[in-house]
Structure 1
Amino acid sequence: MKPLHSIQITAVGAYAPPKVLTNTELSTIVDTSDEWIRSHTGIGERHIAEKEQTTSDLAMLAVEDLLARFGRSKDEIDGIVVATATSDYPGFPSTACLLAERLGTSGPALDVSAGCTGFIYALEVARAMILSNSMRNALVIGAEKLSSVINWKDRNTCVLFGDGAGCVLLEQDSSKQGLLDTLLKAEGAGSGALTIDPGQRCITMEGRAVYNFAVRSIGETILSLVQRNNLTIDDIDWIVPHQANKRIISACAKRYSLNEDAFYLNIEHYANTSAASIPLALAEMQKKGLLKEGQKLLFVGFGAGLTYGGSLLVWHQS
């Protein structure tokens, strides 16, 4: 059996479509304004995929970025776990299987559907499978084409979302600590507050209910992971949250006495990319040189389901 804390993130990658839709441009489509969107969400623009691009296309471009950025080969990849709510097909082949075909791997390939918390769920699924020797390593990918499930006439939701993909490579190194702890939770009674309507195939949301749930679940997840690992909040170098709304992060920091500067936010330029938001932010942090050897990072997410959770890990330079 592999040591419990020996599974680490050894590479990261990301992709955002080059087409950018600004708040000002969006105000010509729906009754809104740049000032309103920024003041209520912190969003300034979002990336939008081309009509012919699929979720698996976005995911593959993120994987290619990882391979190029870290000098890795696709032949090294064993397993693939994809978190997405916007798979190419409503069933099979899964996004992960489509990627496995492109990469030429015959290892395990599966999708995880847990809304905006999907990346954290997928990370834990992959970690457990590596520990059980089901696969040697795994690409864990969050990828979403949310523009395909947006009602562009609903100003309460269409301003919030964007497209993109991010990924990490999980591997084992018994000489170092990696993923220390994971907390996964769900509150199924609130599932109707945030969903993709199966008939209209578009996102519907009860804004106030989701806001209250998000503020509470973020704070409780962070404090639970810190306390049960005998740490203090000051021991955490970076909190990388799901990028949904800047006001949610500010409210959470205030309610739970957290340092808002410890939260890394890039929502201004990407909007809410659901399962892709945490790995997109992580890849950006790595590219900017913000991640240092031995830093403690805490990922925290919340979303449809209602699901929420977090991961605590030690970062190592590759």
Structure 2
Amino acid sequence: MSRPQAFIHGMGHYHPNTVLNNDFFDELDIGSDAQWVEDRTGIRSRRSVLTVSDLIAMKEQRTTLTELRAQGRVQSIADIAELAWKNLQENTKHSFADPDLVICGTSVPDYAIPANACTISQRLGFPSASFDANSACSSFVVNMHLARGLVHSGLNQKIAIFNPERYSLRIDFRDKNSCVLFGDGSACSYLSHEPKPGSLKVVDTFIASDPEGYELVQIPDDGYFSQNGRAVQKFAITRTIEATRAIMDRNQLGPDDIHYFAGHQANLRMITSATERLGFDPDKHIFNVDEYGNQGAAGAPAVLSMNWNRFKTGDRIIVTVVGSGLTWGAALLEKT
């Protein structure tokens, strides 16, 4: 008897209203300018759950994140997850049955406990088992790998995955090397065991890690995001190429058999370099990092959501992500 397969029936995304274009960094007076940022990263703008004035006040140490939270000036994990879920429903024009499991993967949670997935389920009225499974920027594929296994096993039939990210809360806006990269966003996915037309079949997934590199990208409890930029750039390009080739090899596919490729939205220069070395035509490369920055775990699924209506029956899509840990993974999807 064959095992149940996992299908993504809908995806949604949300990006906050505050736009931080490259000119914003001129105002910060941190040694960058708009052209320097775009030339270096390919990023023109990004979003934040905070207002510009609140970001500047934090940079100048006139306020703290704790104070802003107390004043209700910070969108919560549940807030941005709910807005992504509403977008999913608008995209698909369909009301989904309550999931029997909710998984949340985020780099900047509201709570150490309870699970942030529980706050999402409470907001959306889901009477569902709920837990967090975090792997930094790799969380989407890690969550998909986990959900696929649970559906295959028969333990769960309907799973909602949420990847809400708010890096602007933990970025030092005095550090020009990191603050120009990141933006906030949220994405969600709804999977089940039912092979409905128009869904994305989760054909294959795999995940991997190299814990020896755990110190290269960090957000400590009491500090800001930091990374070894040169080492991380090399890792990201190398593992993106390796993981993408590995999942093609596992499924006896070549570059010409893939219709779309979405990588981790770290920066456009990096992911474009990897795409070219993989032999994919430029029109197969889908991305949003140029307008929304590095959205952590939300980046790749937001790209899929934003292109949901572009995919045609039979299209194969590869999603490859890398992140702190060090971690990486890939998923092969096919439009039914």
Aligned to 1:180: 203
**Map of 1:1-318 to 2, 5 A cutoff?**
3-4=3-4, 6-29=5-28, 30-50=30-50, 51-73=73-95, 75-89=97-111, 91-174=112-195, 178-200=201-223, 202-286=224-308, 289-316=309-336
CA contact (8 A) 2:255 2:278 kept: no
**What is the Cα deviation at residue 175 of structure 1?**
7.6
Deviation digits for residues 150-181 of structure 1 (CA, Å, limit 9, x no counterpart)? 01101100000011101111111258881111
| Alpha-carbon distance in structure 1 between the residues aligned to 2:313 and 2:178 | 39
**What is the Cα deviation at residue 258 of structure 1?**
3.7
> Percent identity among equivalent residues?
29
Deviation digits for residues 99-153 of structure 1 (CA, Å, limit 9, x no counterpart)? 1112222222111111111100011111222222332211112110111010110
**What is the Cα deviation at residue 75 of structure 1?**
4.7
CA contact (8 A) 1:81 1:141 kept: yes
Structure 2-normalised TM-score? 0.88
Q: Aligned-pair RMSD on alpha carbons?
A: 1.8
Give the letter aligned to residue 12 of structure 2: G
Per the alignment, in what secondary structure is the counterpart of residue 179 of structure 1?
Answer: strand
Q: Tell me, which stretches of 5 or more residues in structure 2 are unaligned? A: 51-72
CA contact (8 A) 2:98 2:127 kept: no
Per the alignment, in what secondary structure is the counterpart of residue 106 of structure 1?
Answer: coil
CA contact (8 A) 2:267 2:290 kept: no
- Call closer, same or farther: CA 1:253–1:13 in 2, change over 3 Å: closer
Give the letter aligned to residue 143 of structure 1: P
| Alpha-carbon distance in structure 2 between the residues aligned to 1:74 and 1:229 | 31
Deviation digits for residues 252-293 of structure 1 (CA, Å, limit 9, x no counterpart)? 23444443432212111100000000111111112xx32112
| Alpha-carbon distance in structure 2 between the residues aligned to 1:69 and 1:258 | 28
Per the alignment, in what secondary structure is the counterpart of residue 109 of structure 1?
Answer: strand
Structure 1-normalised TM-score? 0.93
- Call closer, same or farther: CA 1:134–1:103 in 2, change over 3 Å: farther
Q: Tell me, which stretches of 5 or more residues in structure 1 are unaligned? A: none
**What is the Cα deviation at residue 246 of structure 1?**
1.4
CA contact (8 A) 1:107 1:135 kept: no
Give the letter aligned to residue 151 of structure 2: I
**What is the Cα deviation at residue 74 of structure 1?**
5.9
Pick which of 127-136 and 17-26 moved more.
127-136
| Alpha-carbon distance in structure 2 between the residues aligned to 1:222 and 1:13 | 24
Q: Which stretches of structure 1, 4 residues or longer, exceed 6 Å deviation after superposition?
A: none
